[in-house]
Amino acid sequence: MRITQLETIRAARQPNVLLLRLHTEEGLAGIGEAFFGASAVEEYLHETVAPVLGGLASPDPEPVARLLAPYAGYQGAGVETRGNGAVDIALWDLLGKRAGLPVVELLGGRVRERISIYNTCAGSGYVGSSSRQESSNWGRSNGRPYEDLDAFLTDPGRLARELVAEGIGGMKIWPFDQAAERSGGTEISRAELAAGVGLVEQIRDAVGDQIEIMIELHGLWSRRSATAICEAIAPYRPYWVEDPLRADAVDALARLSADLDLPIAAGETCVGRRGFLPLLQRGAIDVATVDVQWTGGLTEARKVAALADAYGVPIAPHDCTGPVTLAACVHLVLSQPNGLIQETVRSFVRTWYGELATGAPPIDGGAISLTDAPGLGIELAEGLLAAGDVSRRATTLAPAHSARDAPVSSSRRVTSSSSASSDA
């Protein structure tokens, strides 16, 4: 199964998303995805990864992951890791398509047919304009439906009732982020604390215990301030508090966890087993929110899941990124015995996810499942490649003549809609 072409696709409507297709000589195409810094990841894939893939007779996920492991930058989810994650996801998709099996079967099979979801209360424009986690990148009030971020800030009770009516059993909100921006996370005023807690109280007043509440702190706080926030929201019984501190502040996070009687979730920004191991060893987290793409792909994510299982910690894969990553998450979480819950963003799933890809895992009320389609079961949306806001870049891979010969690659960029459609 030699790869003959590496193709990247970017749509201006979601500039942070980079779609990847790996084409093989058998006529198959595996789909992958990267999120954040799309232009830098794209350059890395074509300039660095393409020559490596072109020289491989059988590019299977495990050996390719080893080949692409960067010498520098392996401790952070930077360009190389995100690019490698996109490649790895595409290779698993190819593996499933070649075998005629869904990826979940290649991961060992389903340990459950469906799993509960929660709704991250973002709007469709959330973190769409840059790769910064800040309120200026929240994309509020862009006129599209399901503006759940604006709703949780202005009328959280109504939003909670709406989600309960849909059968969704959990909602994640971040009512303290703007306070963190004011102080740099060093302190929170009584007024700011009361305002954030008030939003949580409105949810409980509206629906009681009919919905679980996840409180996201985005790693923006010092331990002292994070402790104050957690103690203030504890009476409202949050399902978890997510990333109260940066995940690499292991000692501080372990102490915070020990001081509180609240579940702590973390891990979307951790990279691989070595990123999670200190947190697990110190008992710093109760839930591992591994990001399948940012951690380097399914090859590494399944090892993170197994490691977490050894410490008695469940996984709840992160998805606030793109449609391909969500599909990969569901294949992972349905195959792992310690799968707890799957993050979804209804404002993404019901708007731009479908504009980029089809075949997404079906969501029925408060649960998500998989079809029996081979691979990840997901493909580019019909007409996407011909859309006027889409640019494509393709690198043709020539095989090496010997083990010492470097593969010869030729790259071309397709930007116009007419050229894109004729070159599909």
**pLDDT, tens digit, for every residue of 351-393?**
999 999 999 999 998 999 999 999 999 999 999 999 999 999 9
Structural contact between residues 141 and 147, judged by C-beta atoms closer than 8 angstroms: yes
**243-283: pLDDT as tens digits:** 999 999 999 999 999 999 999 999 999 999 999 999 999 99
Question: Looking at the structure, do residues 126 and 81 belong to the same domain, yes or no?
Answer: no
Tell me: pLDDT of 403 over 60: no
Read off the pLDDT band of 418 (50, 70, 90). Answer: very low
Paired residues of 396 in beta bridges = 5, 410
Amino acid identity of residue 291, one-letter, is D
Cα torsion angle, 280, 285, 289, 294, sign? negative
Question: Looking at the structure, do residues 72 and 44 belong to the same domain, yes or no?
Answer: yes
Distances in whole angstroms, Cα of residue 58 to Cα of each of 44, 55, 255, 394:
21, 9, 47, 20
Structural contact between residues 390 and 9, judged by C-beta atoms closer than 8 angstroms: yes
Residues in CB range of 16: below 8 A, 6 or more apart = 35, 36, 37, 38, 127, 128, 130, 131
Q: Among residues 109, 76, 56, 22, which one has the least CA distance to residue 270?
A: 76
**60-113: pLDDT as tens digits:** 999 999 999 988 777 777 999 999 999 999 999 999 999 999 999 999 999 999
Tell me: pLDDT of 33 over 80: yes
Question: Looking at the structure, do residues 78 and 118 belong to the same domain, yes or no?
Answer: no
Question: Looking at the structure, do residues 63 and 130 belong to the same domain, yes or no?
Answer: no
| Residue with more model confidence, 197 or 76 | 197
Range of the domain at 37: 3-100+382-422
Tell me: pLDDT of 423 over 50: no
CA distance 187 to 192: 10
Read off the pLDDT band of 133 (50, 70, 90). Answer: confident
Tell me: pLDDT of 417 over 50: no
Question: Looking at the structure, do residues 70 and 94 belong to the same domain, yes or no?
Answer: yes
* DSSP H/E element including 89: helix 79-99
Residue range 31-51: average pLDDT?
97
Read off the pLDDT band of 404 (50, 70, 90). Answer: very low
CA distance 221 to 192: 14
Average pLDDT, the chain: 92
Question: Looking at the structure, do residues 187 and 268 belong to the same domain, yes or no?
Answer: yes
Q: The domain spanning residue 54 has which CATH number? A: 3.30.390.10
In a domain, 377, yes or no: no
Q: Among residues 123, 5, 12, which one has the least CA distance to residue 355?
A: 12
Read off the pLDDT band of 410 (50, 70, 90). Answer: low
Question: Looking at the structure, do residues 276 and 157 belong to the same domain, yes or no?
Answer: yes
Number of domains within the chain: 2
pLDDT score for 76? 73
CA distance 397 to 50: 7
Kindly state the percentage of the chain with pLDDT values over 90: 85
- Strand pairing report for 240-242 and 264-266: parallel
Q: The domain spanning residue 364 has which CATH number? A: 3.20.20.120
**134-178: pLDDT as tens digits:** 777 777 766 778 999 999 999 999 999 999 999 999 999 999 999
Question: Looking at the structure, do residues 216 and 79 belong to the same domain, yes or no?
Answer: no
Read off the pLDDT band of 327 (50, 70, 90). Answer: very high
Residue range 329-344: average pLDDT?
98
Read off the pLDDT band of 411 (50, 70, 90). Answer: low
Residue range 227-238: average pLDDT?
98
Question: Looking at the structure, do residues 95 and 130 belong to the same domain, yes or no?
Answer: no
Where do runs of H (alpha helix) occur along 128-249?
148-154, 156-166, 177-183, 190-207, 223-233
Here the tokens at position 414 are 């397709």
CA distance 333 to 110: 9
In a domain, 61, yes or no: yes
Q: Among residues 64, 155, 118, which one has the least CA distance to residue 333?
A: 118
In a domain, 362, yes or no: yes
Task: Specify the pTM.
Answer: 0.93
Question: Looking at the structure, do residues 49 and 141 belong to the same domain, yes or no?
Answer: no
